[in-house]
Structure 1
Amino acid sequence: MKDYKTIGKSGEAEFTVSKSRFIGYAKPVETENEALEFIEFIRKKHWNAAHNVPVYIIGDDFQIQRFSDDGEPSGTAGVPILDVLKKEGITNVCMVITRYFGGIKLGTGGLVRAYTHAAKIALNTCGLIFQKQFEQVFITLDYHAHGKVQNLLMECKEVIVKDTEFSDVVRLEVYVDPLYAPALESHINELTSGKGILEIMKPVYVAIPCEDLL
């Protein structure tokens, strides 16, 4: 598992140039099947459009990259959209740019600029997020130590408190930056006099808005 950047939600945007209408769609996907289903959905929705140009990238290391010009001159549609995604470092996303031809040819350069712009404005409606890998950790402790541990966790930017359960003991579910996990264990042992129990579970991805990382 590796950290990666993607979009937070589906989005769409459109503009018109030289009477041609361009509609950009973007959707977060995890698999090729999800991407193909989305592409087919847009094609059916805009069955009468001149072109529905599909592009998708999947994998935390950009392992899968697919695109098509869907009838536009080679290199003028799919590649520019793919380039936008790659330059932004975005993966696990499927885009379809729909074009209704307005009767005026845009030329090679005009098409590249139009599809690039359509991709960019569609992405702007989605919100970029960073899928960061954390370790899922359960912390069990008594009520006497809860206040001290809670204060520690609230001050740690490397820890996200997911849930707290109260019974005869306090059980916290937290997400911990893997690099900070050994230090957290040391702090918990100190604050609970060795009575706190840490259970380190499977790694998980946590979505963090990109602006929060600035």
Structure 2
Amino acid sequence: MQAYPIPEADHQVEEVIKNSRFITRVFKLTSFEDAKNLVQQQKIEFPDARHHCYAFIAGSPTQHSLMGFSDDGEPSGTAGKPMLAVLQGSGIGHILAVSIRYFGGTKLGTGGLVKAYAGGVKLALASLATQVYVPKDEYKIGCDYRHLDQINYWLAQASADIITTDFTDKVWLTVAIADNEKEELMSKLGEMQLQLEPREA
């Protein structure tokens, strides 16, 4: 998988459209569950708002199974879906956008709602600070105790994450490593007759 941008920090913009106040908040996501919790927090923080519409991508920007949205009482298709379309178009992953609306007494119509909700996300993304996220795959390495210090050194050089270390008759490491670092590590391990094995699901 290729690297892609993700939010660097939470971000907020605000607009007033025909007396309705729209607060658009953007968050960095770690999981589906994280999205639910963050949306719930917004409902607690803004309990008197009329709508808390949202859209999210809980993984890479092309991972459709990790996307979701809600119109939260607005006419179907006028809020969450256009918000998600903007997120997808941005190429940003691990992102949640929540649009909090305080109704101002003037109806915007379906076209006006789509424009307001999509526009709020566009406005937020225009000033959103991002960072590059490099996806990593998980592998196992089995080695003798005498090799552990050397392997830990190589893993640090490769910016690999050590997820677990199990000590049995030998040492088993579960590690996460980016594709662009994998080949060199495999070569070094090969010199010791060791392998980088895909982690079993």
TM-score of the pair, normalised by structure 1: 0.63
Deviation at 1:80, TM superposition (A): 0.8
Rate the CA distance shift 1:184–1:69 in 2: closer, same or farther, 3 A.
Answer: closer
Distance (whole Å) between structure 2 residues aligned to residue 124 and residue 7 of structure 1: 12
Distance (whole Å) between structure 2 residues aligned to residue 181 and residue 26 of structure 1: 33
CA contact (8 A) 1:134 1:175 kept: no
CA contact (8 A) 1:62 1:91 kept: no
Deviation at 1:32, TM superposition (A): 1.4
Q: RMSD of the TM alignment (CA)?
A: 3.1
Rate the CA distance shift 1:3–1:63 in 2: closer, same or farther, 3 A.
Answer: farther
Distance (whole Å) between structure 2 residues aligned to residue 180 and residue 33 of structure 1: 30
Rate the CA distance shift 1:182–1:94 in 2: closer, same or farther, 3 A.
Answer: closer
**Number of matched pairs:** 160
Distance (whole Å) between structure 2 residues aligned to residue 14 and residue 34 of structure 1: 23
Deviation at 1:91, TM superposition (A): 2.2
Structure 1 unmatched ranges of 5 or more:
136-170, 189-196, 204-214
Distance (whole Å) between structure 2 residues aligned to residue 35 and residue 116 of structure 1: 19
Rate the CA distance shift 1:93–1:183 in 2: closer, same or farther, 3 A.
Answer: closer
The residue number in structure 1 matching 2:94 is 92
Task: State the secondary structure of the residue aligned to 2:134.
Answer: strand
Distance (whole Å) between structure 1 residues aligned to residue 107 and residue 195 of structure 2: 60
The residue number in structure 1 matching 2:124 is 122
Deviation at 1:184, TM superposition (A): 9.4
Alignment-mate amino acid for residue 55 of structure 1: A
Distance (whole Å) between structure 1 residues aligned to residue 31 and residue 186 of structure 2: 36
Q: Deviations over 1:30-82 (max 9, x none)?
A: 11111111000101111111111022111232421111111111111011100
Rate the CA distance shift 1:106–1:63 in 2: closer, same or farther, 3 A.
Answer: same
Q: Deviations over 1:107-166 (max 9, x none)?
A: 11111111011112222343123312479xxxxxxxxxxxxxxxxxxxxxxxxxxxxxxx
**2:3 equivalent to 1:3:** yes
The residue number in structure 2 matching 1:211 is none
CA contact (8 A) 1:2 1:133 kept: yes
Alignment-mate amino acid for residue 110 of structure 1: G
Rate the CA distance shift 1:45–1:132 in 2: closer, same or farther, 3 A.
Answer: same
The residue number in structure 2 matching 1:69 is 71
Task: State the secondary structure of the residue aligned to 1:63.
Answer: helix
CA contact (8 A) 1:23 1:97 kept: yes
